[in-house]
Structure 1
Amino acid sequence: EGRRPPRPPPCPPSCSCTQDTAFCVDSKAVPRNLPPEVISLTMVNAAFTEIREAAFAHIPSLQFLLLNSNKFTLIGDNAFAGLSHLQYLFIENNDIQALSKATFRGLKSLTHLSLANNNLQTLPRDLFKPLDILSDLDLRGNTLACDCQIKWLVEWLESTNTTVPAVFCSSPGHFEGQRIQDLVLGDFQCITTDFVVHQVLPFQSVSAEPFTYASDLYVALAQPGASSCAILKWDYVERKLRDFDHIPAHSAVHCKPIVAQEQLYVVVAQLFGGSYIYRWDTTVDKFIKIQDIDSQKIRKPNDVEAFQIEGEWYFVIADSSKAGSTSLYRLNQNGFYSHQALHAWHRDTDVEYVENDGKPRLIIASSSQAPVIYQWNRAQKQFAPQGEVGEMLDVQMVKHFRVKRDQFLCLSRYIGDSKVVRWEGQRFVELQTLPSRGSMVMQPFSVGQRQYLALGSDFSFTHVYLWEEEKQKFAKFQELLVQAPRAFRSVLAADVQLLLAPSFKAKTLVYRHVVVDLS
């Protein structure tokens, strides 16, 4: 009696199988009922596009997996989970545009990996990190973009013992056709920055003045709608600004703190009802009004600046009324007293203190003429007129910044274009014109080595620009949604770089400057 022939191993209809191999064509899914001892699986021209998590976990003995000439576009996280014995993985001639970081997790025995001739344009950072003993990797035939997303691969290729045939960049233009193995980390400029909302202050304000007193950081904000100068204190634990005190101010346009001779003063400039000076009284822990400011000279204040010259403290108030006078005040033992009337009857809108070549100067912007420059006369201890800034009328605000040894001015206008000029001795060289209809503030500020410019608008977004040294101009960097901004002030709070953005019509915003590694 003859024996029955051995039963053939189980095999799906789309596959041909031996005891330990399976070759599948036109499969509609990863085949399920394969021989339990199969160690080699080949899939060609599969009729599905996605390999999902643990798709092959039911055949844990696999050592060789070839996925060739299929229509795969997506390979999910942990797609090969459970294949701890897999040594050879070939995924070739597909249309896989991207892989996830965890695609190859769990393949601790993999020695050979081919991703040749797919449509890969980038590779997620540390994609090959789980492959501890990988000896051969093939990335040829892809369209890899050699941008910051691929920087990690350049670093990995420098340090790995894995054999990798030459791979070429498809973009950007200056790298096109270049071997990735020939790139160095210095070829990539991947560090950028961003301004993100750190805190929303639930009130409107028109000025912000950070200051340090008794080793703590504070901010003074003028709140005309709330009839107050709000003093906020930085909480180093919560990393937030918190209420500290309020100075009554019925129509405040500027609250200027001055820390002089270990005393804290606040100049409260008001549109109506006069302007005043307060001092912090440490015996009762509150602000005490110590002075009225002459209302015959200061009728409609618009800006306050404070500074030291030869060890003495001064502040200057720009007055925007037809009958007022921009005035300088000096601190003596008993308070601040009128020192000099500077610029009468010109409806001044802003004043800026600048030290240029060791010489103290004031630049006063006016509604009726070009910005006027005053220079300090050391013998007379007064400012004397020196000239004008170009042919710029209706300048709303003047601010300065320095890059290396060069001095620059930012001249903002509410109607018309704002300008950036370089200050060269007695002349001003126009470098850039910026559209600025509706702008009440144009504030340069620096963070580390980066020079920024915030250009606000009552009609659109605030534009933040970044200075390009080689081109000697600002380039658009970011848009901020601040309604009717009236100031921008940068301040370092411990390790947090803040940008204060007072708003005349909405909540005051506090942005945080963050460094972003695009790689």
Structure 2
Amino acid sequence: MGGAGILLLLLAGAGVGAAWRPPKGKCPLSCSCSKDSALCEGSPDLPENFSPSLLSLSLVRTGVAQLKAGSFLRVPTLHLLLFTSNSFSVIEDDAFAGLSHLQYLFIEDNEIGAISKNALRGLRSLTHLSLANNHLETLPRFLFRGLETLTHVDLRGNPFQCDCRVLWLLQWMPTVNASVGTGACAGPSALAHMQLHHLDPKTFKCRAIELSWFQTVGESALGVEPFSYQGEPHIVLAQPFAGRCLILSWDYSLQRFRPEEELSAPSVVACKPLVLGARLIVLAARLWGGSQLWARPSPGLRLAPVQALAPRQLLRPNDAETLWLDQQPCFVVADASKAGSTTLLCRDGPGFYPRQSLHAWHRDTDAEALELDGRPHLLLASASQRPVLFHWSGGRFERRTDIPEAEDVYATHHFQAGGDVFLCLTRYIGDSMVMRWDGSMFRLLQQLPSRGAHVFQPLLIARDQLAILGSDFAFSQVFRLEPDKGLLEPLQELGPPALVAPRAFAHVALAGRRFLFAACFKGPTQIYQHHELDLSA
């Protein structure tokens, strides 16, 4: 039954006749009043000066532009309030403040396009609510908060957009002891004419993430590596033009990252940290002048050079990685010289010494340590052939296979999701690729256009598996793995003027916040903050 019908029943039940009028001044012009009810039609504004014992008020075709806070403070005794065929389009917060006895609120056949989230606040006795036949495309979350007495809600006849904004309503309906009439969706087109109560809340994807700029740090860099030392997160940047490995830490007072220590390393291409208890080791791989190992024996001391690393073997390093083999820490340094070979260095006594030479003469550009089938593996990308996969066997790396259909791969990075191992292959010219391990080799899963890319790096940030495809010529692309599809989907662009020629990315979590570092070759390192967005709000 509509609001007007219920009003007539209430009036009849009260035995209200049309002959009685309250004392002079208690029934405004344009209103017809009886002992405890009033019907106002065509009033240019909201009528006032009602009887203090008024129980029922109906407003029809008034000229009220909007319902403002405290509009009915002068009639606190109301039990029923009805609006129909009015022109107002907005209901503000606390519009019905003071109506603690109101049981029936009917706002039907009006021009309402917006209602504030606290518009119904204080209606603690409300049992029947109708917002039928208005122009509401959505309702604010928590609109019905505090209305525990509701038994009937009518939302029919509104052009609801059934996107993330209605998710809260779908989740709310099963939790209340009230009959709810919702009507059909007006959009989007895929859901048009579908009844709201037939929608499955689980199909709505209403959580989004955003990377927003946070801070700029120092000079250009080729690499960025996070590590934890003494329970605190740190970051080390490889800055070849500044000739140093720069270590950053978090300043809790300034809420910024600040330089903590720098290591002299001219022409450095990679700064690789390794934490062994209280001892911190940093490998500085350099194009010229020899690679070095720096060490901090214990907290409170500064890093100092302790070893020159294999000067006759590390001719032109291009990348360095850490890995553990037979419970011993090791480094692998990819060598890009024509006469060099990638070198595996493992701890032996106080230092790190060559354990094995790999892939001689192939000008390796990248090394990636990963685990497959429960065993250590090493993947090498080079300028001369397809990436080659090695596995650890008998105390050394043995060639296992190569990756077909993967020419001109500059770098590789892997990630795990849903029990599978995926591989991101960076190509400077052509399409970069995503591959998946099938138990014997990596198979092509997805191709992504990439012109001028030196990095295609996966990162697990909170619950999201991301992958960032850098570009020297255009915006860098942020992708997110969609579990349902098993594919990377575009999420966001990061680009100039801040992000120029990225070479490496890293994720750092601290103090309840998450940050993305982007080392840039033609500009300073950029730091972005990771935000989670609720699209249903």
Same fold (TM over 0.5): yes
Of 437, 441, 458, the match for 2:451: 437
Name the CA shift for 1:314/1:185 in 2 (closer, same or farther; >3 Å).
same
**Contact conserved, 1:296 with 1:324, CA < 8 A, in 2?**
no
Of 388, 412, 430, the match for 1:398: 412
Of 481, 489, 500, the match for 1:483: 500
**Could you say which residue in structure 1 is the equivalent of 2:518?**
501
| Deviations, residues 60-85 of structure 1 (Å, cap 9, x unaligned) | 44443221012222112222234344
DSSP 3-state at the match of 1:226: coil
- In structure 2, C-alpha distance between the alignment counterparts of 1:25 and 1:214, rounded to whole Å: 75
**Could you say which residue in structure 2 is the equivalent of 1:278?**
294
Q: Are positions 1:256 and 2:280 aligned together?
A: no
Name the CA shift for 1:355/1:108 in 2 (closer, same or farther; >3 Å).
closer
- In structure 2, C-alpha distance between the alignment counterparts of 1:357 and 1:85, rounded to whole Å: 69
Q: TM-score with structure 2 length normalisation?
A: 0.84
**Contact conserved, 2:62 with 2:87, CA < 8 A, in 1?**
yes
Name the CA shift for 1:187/1:440 in 2 (closer, same or farther; >3 Å).
closer
Give the Å deviation of 1:30. 1.9
Give the Å deviation of 1:352. 0.9
Aligned length: 513
**Could you say which residue in structure 1 is the equivalent of 2:349?**
333
**Could you say which residue in structure 2 is the equivalent of 1:117?**
133
- In structure 2, C-alpha distance between the alignment counterparts of 1:457 and 1:368, rounded to whole Å: 22
Match for 1:94: what amino acid?
A: N
**Contact conserved, 1:202 with 1:507, CA < 8 A, in 2?**
yes
Give the Å deviation of 1:497. 4.1
- In structure 2, C-alpha distance between the alignment counterparts of 1:65 and 1:494, rounded to whole Å: 51
**Contact conserved, 1:304 with 1:316, CA < 8 A, in 2?**
yes
DSSP 3-state at the match of 2:118: coil
Match for 1:326: what amino acid?
A: T
Match for 2:121: what amino acid?
A: R
Match for 1:437: what amino acid?
A: R
**Could you say which residue in structure 1 is the equivalent of 2:315?**
299
Give the Å deviation of 1:398. 0.8
Match for 2:405: what amino acid?
A: E
**Could you say which residue in structure 1 is the equivalent of 2:390?**
374
Q: Are positions 1:389 and 2:403 aligned together?
A: yes
DSSP 3-state at the match of 2:168: helix
**Contact conserved, 2:25 with 2:49, CA < 8 A, in 1?**
no
Q: Are positions 1:312 and 2:303 aligned together?
A: no
**Contact conserved, 1:146 with 1:170, CA < 8 A, in 2?**
yes
| Deviations, residues 226-272 of structure 1 (Å, cap 9, x unaligned) | 33211123467887544321111233221101224753211112233
DSSP 3-state at the match of 2:170: helix
Name the CA shift for 1:358/1:148 in 2 (closer, same or farther; >3 Å).
same
**Contact conserved, 1:30 with 1:56, CA < 8 A, in 2?**
no
- In structure 1, C-alpha distance between the alignment counterparts of 2:266 and 2:445, rounded to whole Å: 41
- In structure 2, C-alpha distance between the alignment counterparts of 1:276 and 1:395, rounded to whole Å: 28
Name the CA shift for 1:191/1:7 in 2 (closer, same or farther; >3 Å).
closer
**1:9-408 map, 5 Å:** 9=25, 14-17=30-33, 21-32=37-48, 38-165=54-181, 167-171=183-187, 179-181=195-197, 186=202, 188-197=204-213, 199-234=215-250, 241-260=257-276, 263-282=279-298, 285-378=301-394, 381-408=395-422
**Contact conserved, 1:224 with 1:250, CA < 8 A, in 2?**
yes
**Contact conserved, 2:368 with 2:378, CA < 8 A, in 1?**
yes
| Deviations, residues 32-62 of structure 1 (Å, cap 9, x unaligned) | 4656665443322233542223233344444
DSSP 3-state at the match of 2:70: coil
**Contact conserved, 1:252 with 1:269, CA < 8 A, in 2?**
yes
Give the Å deviation of 1:167. 4.2
Of 430, 434, 453, the match for 1:420: 434
Give the Å deviation of 1:278. 0.8
Give the Å deviation of 1:485. 1.9
DSSP 3-state at the match of 1:153: helix
Give the Å deviation of 1:163. 3.9
Match for 1:479: what amino acid?
A: E
DSSP 3-state at the match of 1:150: helix
Name the CA shift for 1:9/1:503 in 2 (closer, same or farther; >3 Å).
same
**Could you say which residue in structure 1 is the equivalent of 2:6?**
none
**Contact conserved, 1:456 with 1:462, CA < 8 A, in 2?**
yes
Give the Å deviation of 1:138. 1.9
Deviates most, 290-299 or 62-71:
290-299
Name the CA shift for 1:299/1:105 in 2 (closer, same or farther; >3 Å).
same
Runs of 4+ with >6 A deviation = 236-239
Give the Å deviation of 1:412. 0.8
Match for 1:460: what amino acid?
A: A
Deviates most, 283-292 or 238-247:
238-247
Name the CA shift for 1:366/1:285 in 2 (closer, same or farther; >3 Å).
same
Kindly, what percent of the aligned residue pairs are identical? Answer: 43
**Could you say which residue in structure 2 is the equivalent of 1:473?**
487
- In structure 2, C-alpha distance between the alignment counterparts of 1:428 and 1:91, rounded to whole Å: 62
Give the Å deviation of 1:93. 0.7
**Contact conserved, 1:209 with 1:220, CA < 8 A, in 2?**
yes
Give the Å deviation of 1:490. 2.7
DSSP 3-state at the match of 1:151: helix
**Could you say which residue in structure 1 is the equivalent of 2:7?**
none
**Contact conserved, 2:370 with 2:377, CA < 8 A, in 1?**
yes
**Contact conserved, 1:9 with 1:18, CA < 8 A, in 2?**
no
**Contact conserved, 2:401 with 2:441, CA < 8 A, in 1?**
no
Where structure 1 has 5 or more consecutive residues not aligned to the other structure, the ranges are none
**Contact conserved, 2:38 with 2:56, CA < 8 A, in 1?**
yes
Where structure 2 has 5 or more consecutive residues not aligned to the other structure, the ranges are 1-20
Q: TM-score with structure 1 length normalisation?
A: 0.87
| Deviations, residues 399-454 of structure 1 (Å, cap 9, x unaligned) | 12233443322111122210112233554421111011122211112246542211
Name the CA shift for 1:57/1:464 in 2 (closer, same or farther; >3 Å).
same
**Contact conserved, 1:221 with 1:229, CA < 8 A, in 2?**
yes
